[in-house]
Chain A
Amino acid sequence: MQALYAQLLVGLINGSFYALLSLGLAVIFGMLNIINFAHGAVYMMGAFAAYFLLNLGGINYWWALLLAPIIVGIFGMILERTMLQWLTGLDHLYGLLLTFGIALIVQGVFQNYFGSSGLPYAIPDQLKGGMNLGFMFLPVYRGWVVIFSLVVCIATWFLIEKTRLGAYLRAATENPTLVRAFGVNVPRMITLTYGLGVGLAALAGVLSAPINQVRPLMGADLIIVVFAVVVIGGMGSIMGSIITGFALGVIEGMTKYFYPEASNTVVFVLMVLVLLVKPTGLTGRAA
């Protein structure tokens, strides 16, 4: 049973990353009508930002948790201002191609300087060690990742669904022209939204740095799984992305325990099954 609980925990952690990443993808898609292929690359940049902050600036994990998403978010906003905004009105596919190109550039540059091997990032002192829960041993850091991600996801949900800013955002998603007529600066909102989505990915990167090491290609394969998560969940609902992300992480963890050979493929197989039964995705509207 110990091993089962351990895999369940791994699944919850992966689920946190899926949730944070697919949440960002959904928010960006809602405002920009772009599928951000660079999402895996910015996730990696978040982890590297934390690594640089620690090793070059001596800035610890807690500050990195705040600063890395901001730094990467600003990078994202610059991308949006200089490149993505010119795609407005073009076919969605160009956004996919452009962000794919950006992902190749970013990953290529990091690979040049850091190779493909992993750089270690130590768990902060306050989160070292573990707790004995009676039925299993829980490393504190892993428990922290799950709870903190959950809090961030719910905060994002609250921001978008329950606040005035979120209402503007949802309105601009439905009809940007009309919202502009009310005097809201929609282009600036689009830039900020992209920054937010990218920042969430970077945050996931910081969280994963002590667990998975910091590697240039850490986001390259992850983003494809997240795409499958997004296809399964649909991008219509924020809460839908969060729940689907966590649920698929847990299912993947369970598969690792019961049938490890299929742990790489289970999310994709589920995607196929969902497409056969309910082509619009679990929470989705027609695209």
Chain B
Amino acid sequence: MTALTDDRLPAPPRAIRDEMIVFVVMALLLAAVPFSGIYPFFVMQALCFALLACAFNLLIGYGGLLSFGHAMFMGTAGYCSAHALKVWALPPELGILVGIAAAFGLSLITGFISIRRQGIYFSMITLALSQLLYFIYLQAPFTHGEDGIQGIPQGRMFGVFDLTKPTVLYYVVLVSFLAGFLLIYRIINSPFGEVLKAIRENEPRAISLGYRTDQYKFLAFVLSGTLAGFAGSLKVFVAQNASLTDVHWSMSGEVVLMTLVGGLGTIFGPVVGAFAIIAMQQYLASFGQWVTVIQGSIFVICVLTFRRGVIGEIAHYLRRSL
């Protein structure tokens, strides 16, 4: 079995310090966005996808499981949050919780089914499950089919933060993203994360050491799916709609692409990848279907020549873990 990423020893203190410095720089840069004249909507959207890609990376980069259906968690959480906000008129914080709970429930079910098979079959099963869900949402009345749920009220978070103000919304999204990011970072560096990496590198050995690897993978799947749901709920406030595109297989493919470009199994890679892909879509929007062709080409180029991704290459060059 060949390793998916570089072999790495458990992070020594210096690596953790490096990573914290990069994290603080990233947080400061993102916090300065509203003062920089960059369109905040674009950054908020990228942040949601960055969180989604980080959650996806937890599964592929550290568990070695390639889910080709991660859009289902984002889409499900998005639909449920949107429904809770618009029809039940719940406040934003509860709306987000409803979305996260839905993604949690969905990942329990889909994880239970898909974790029974390994490798390539796992990818096909997650893809098929997300397609199943796509057809269900296409027909279910509460999603409004092709139209999606539109005009979702943003409301006041905790009764204080007025999310209709772009700057307030931006900082709420940013803080949520950073919290999600730190949680994933904590999971990766926990004893649980170390066992997960051990399973990725050599599963039979991990089993022989007495770990119930299926349970570890299942837990990783549920954590990843739930966090992807968090990203989906946040995106509802940014886009103010929830639609079928968020559950379509092409969205799952985009998440894979973001993580691949940034670097599978790197901590900051998915964030960089998400910003790169969202920016590309933004600037090339007028080229129509050529965007798909370009995305496909990036896939091919990354797999053939650039498997470590942007951050992976930098980390390899600096001999640091990032």
Residue with the greatest number of chain A CB neighbours at <10 A, chosen from B117, B121, B125 = B121
Q: Mark A241-280, 1 if CB is under 8 A from B, else 0.
A: 0000000000000000000010011001101100110011
Q: How far is the CA of A83 from the CA of B296 in the complex (A)?
A: 14
Q: 1/0 per position for B1-19, CB-CB distance to A under 8 A?
A: 1111000000000000000
How many whole Å from B262's CB to the nearest CB in chain A? 14
Which of A49-57, A59-67, A91-99, A149-157 touches B? Answer: A91-99
A107 and B292 in contact (CB under 8 A), knowing A89-B2, A275-B117, A279-B117? yes
Chain A 17-53 interface residues, beta-carbon cutoff 8 Å to B: 29, 35
Taking CB atoms, residues of chain A closer than 8 Å to B192 are: none
Pick from B119, B132, B304: contact of A93, CB below 8 A: B119
The contact size tier of chain B is 35 or more
Once the chains are docked, how many angstroms separate the CA of A154 from the CA of B249?
Answer: 33
Q: How many residues of A contact B (CB 8 A)?
A: 45
8 Å CB contacts to A: which residues of B279-322?
Answer: 288-293, 295-300, 302-304, 307
Taking CB atoms, residues of chain A closer than 8 Å to B118 are 287
- Indicate which residue in A97, A105, A230, A271 contacts B256 across the interface (CB closer than 8 Å): A97
* In the complex, residue of chain B having the shortest beta-carbon distance to the beta carbon of A116: B289
* A227 contacts B127, C-beta separation under 8 Å: yes
Contacts of A280 in B (CB 8 A): 117
B residues within 8 A CB of A287?
117-121
Residue of B nearest to A106 (CB): B296
Confirm or deny: A127 has a beta carbon within 8 angstroms of a beta carbon on chain B: no
For residue A35, give the distance in angstroms from its CB to the closest CB of chain B: 5
Residues in B whose Cβ lies below 8 Å from that of A238: none
Residue B124, interface by CB 8 Å: yes
Residue B253, interface by CB 8 Å: yes
**From residue A115, how far is it (CB to closest CB) to chain B in Å?**
9
B128 near A228 with CB under 8 A, answer yes
| Interface contact A261-B139, CB-CB below 8 Å | yes
Using known A-B contacts A103-B296, A105-B296, determine if residue A97 contacts B124 with beta carbons closer than 8 Å: no
B120 close to A94 (CB less than 8 A): no
Since A93-B66, A105-B297, A287-B120 are in contact, a sample of 18 more A-B pairs with Cβ atoms closer than 8 Å, ordered by chain A residue number, is: A90-B307, A91-B4, A91-B64, A93-B4, A94-B303, A94-B307, A96-B66, A96-B120, A97-B303, A101-B297, A101-B300, A102-B300, A104-B296, A108-B290, A268-B128, A268-B135, A275-B117, A279-B116
Measuring CB to CB, which residues of chain A are less than 8 angstroms from any residue of chain B? 29, 35, 83, 86-87, 89-94, 96-98, 100-109, 111-112, 221, 224-225, 227-228, 230-231, 261, 264-265, 268-269, 271-272, 275-276, 279-280, 287
Q: List 12 A-B contacts (CB under 8 A).
A: A87-B303, A97-B302, A98-B303, A100-B253, A101-B303, A102-B300, A104-B292, A107-B292, A230-B124, A231-B121, A265-B135, A275-B117
Top 8 closest A-B pairs, CB basis? Answer: A101-B299, A104-B296, A108-B292, A105-B296, A108-B293, A268-B132, A279-B116, A227-B124
Instruction: List residues of chain B with CB under 8 Å of any chain A CB.
Output: 1-4, 60, 64, 66, 68, 113-114, 116-121, 123-125, 127-129, 131-132, 135-136, 138-139, 249, 253, 256, 260, 288-293, 295-300, 302-304, 307
